């Protein structure tokens, strides 16, 4: 099982997940995580079928720089909840972190702010194997400077209407940049499906949407609120399920954690 999982890391992105998962189901969580977390800042993922976002039209977006025990730096997406809290995915855990705020073009950081992370809060019931409860809060070392390019996003709660038409954003590979990080923020519209929704996850079907390196970014829906956290993809027969951890399910935990520290 270990050898097969390791060999998967060397497969091309276009390689089908399905046969490997069926042969070695215990590899599933690793495969799903590898599908969405990037090995380094120059391989930060892709938004399939997307387009460049209008610069700074999503001021809540955060690029999370993850310092790994190996000494390498990996990336995840994230989004600003307040002056000093960022939300990302639990499987984006690392030894330490920094976040870049106010970013649109990765090559133009003059007007951005980079802040170290002081403390992390992973859902206590996060399950590495199933990736259920895949949420993590990052408390910043000091308050971010809010403005037109840096602004928190509101979170959906249990009483909000069920989402349907949403969008996902992130930095990474695209048709124009197939071998490395797309320097600008990309976005893509997705339609959620109740056919694959679970108690834990919102879901959409198809090839357009999130990809490697987009983990931790927000699922923003028609009301302008963040309803989900980009978690993982899962192959099912001939379809690809894209799964987002449900924020309303965890809203009480989010509020309690942010108010308690």
pLDDT tens-digit readout, 86-141: 999 999 999 999 999 999 998 889 899 999 999 999 999 999 889 999 999 999 99
In a domain, 22, yes or no: yes
In a domain, 139, yes or no: yes
Whether residue 241 sits in one domain with residue 187 = yes
In a domain, 235, yes or no: yes
Catalytic residue (one of 91, 149, 227, 232): 91
Whether residue 191 sits in one domain with residue 86 = no
In a domain, 52, yes or no: no
Whether residue 140 sits in one domain with residue 63 = yes
Output the pLDDT for position 159: 96
Number of domains in the chain: 3
In a domain, 228, yes or no: yes
Answer yes or no: 91 catalytic.
Answer: yes
b or e along 183-211 (b: 16 or more beta carbons within 10 Å of the residue's beta carbon)? bbbbbbebebbeebbeebbbbbbeebbbb
Whether residue 175 sits in one domain with residue 149 = no
Catalytic residue (one of 214, 215, 231, 250): 215
The enclosing H or E element of 257 equals helix 251-260
Whether residue 125 sits in one domain with residue 254 = yes
Whether residue 198 sits in one domain with residue 125 = no
- Which residues form the domain of 32? 2-38
Answer yes or no: 215 catalytic.
Answer: yes
Whether residue 131 sits in one domain with residue 82 = yes
In a domain, 48, yes or no: no
Catalytic residue (one of 43, 104, 132, 134): 134
Q: How confident is the model at residue 175 (pLDDT cuts 50, 70, 90)?
A: low
Q: In angstroms, rounded to a whole number, what is the distance separating the alpha carbons of residues 203 and 191? A: 9
In a domain, 45, yes or no: no
Whether residue 171 sits in one domain with residue 147 = no
Answer yes or no: 148 catalytic.
Answer: no
Whether residue 80 sits in one domain with residue 112 = yes
Whether residue 70 sits in one domain with residue 22 = no
Whole-structure pTM value: 0.83
Whether residue 149 sits in one domain with residue 78 = yes
Output the pLDDT for position 160: 97
How does pLDDT run across 6-56, given as a tens digit for each residue?
Answer: 222 333 333 333 333 443 444 454 445 444 554 443 333 345 567 889 999
In a domain, 158, yes or no: no
CB 115 within 8 A of CB 101: yes
CB 57 within 8 A of CB 155: no
CB 253 within 8 A of CB 244: no
Whether residue 256 sits in one domain with residue 225 = no
**DSSP string for residues in 233-247:** EEEETTEEEEEEEES
Supply the CATH number for residue 144's domain: 2.40.10.10
């Amino acid at each position: 099982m270990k050898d097969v999982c390791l060999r998967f890391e060397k497969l091309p992105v276009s390689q089908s997940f399905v046969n490997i998962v069926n042969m070695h189901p215990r590899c599933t969580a690793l495969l799903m995580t590898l599908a969405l977390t990037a090995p380094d800042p120059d391989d930060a993922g892709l938004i399939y079928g997307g387009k460049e976002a209008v610069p700074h039209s999503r001021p809540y977006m955060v690029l999370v720089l993850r310092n790994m025990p190996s000494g390498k730096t990996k990336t995840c997406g994230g989004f600003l909840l307040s002056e000093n809290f960022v939300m990302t995915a639990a499987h984006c855990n690392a030894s330490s972190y920094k976040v870049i705020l106010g970013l649109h073009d990765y090559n133009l950081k003059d007007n951005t702010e980079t802040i170290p992370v002081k403390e992390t809060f992973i859902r206590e019931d996060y399950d590495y194997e199933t990736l259920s409860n895949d949420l993590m809060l990052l408390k910043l070392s000091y308050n971010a400077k809010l403005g037109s390019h840096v602004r928190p996003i509101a979170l959906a709660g249990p009483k909000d209407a069920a989402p349907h038409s949403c969008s996902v954003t992130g930095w990474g590979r695209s048709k124009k940049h197939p071998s490395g990080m797309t320097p600008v923020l990309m976005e893509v519209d997705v339609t959620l499906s109740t056919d694959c929704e679970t108690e834990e996850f919102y879901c959409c079907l198809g090839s357009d949407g999130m990809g490697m390196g987009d983990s931790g970014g927000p699922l923003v829906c028609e009301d302008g609120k963040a309803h989900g956290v980009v978690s993982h993809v899962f192959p099912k027969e001939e379809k690809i399920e894209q799964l987002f951890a449900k924020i309303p399910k965890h809203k009480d935990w989010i509020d309690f954690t942010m108010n308690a520290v």
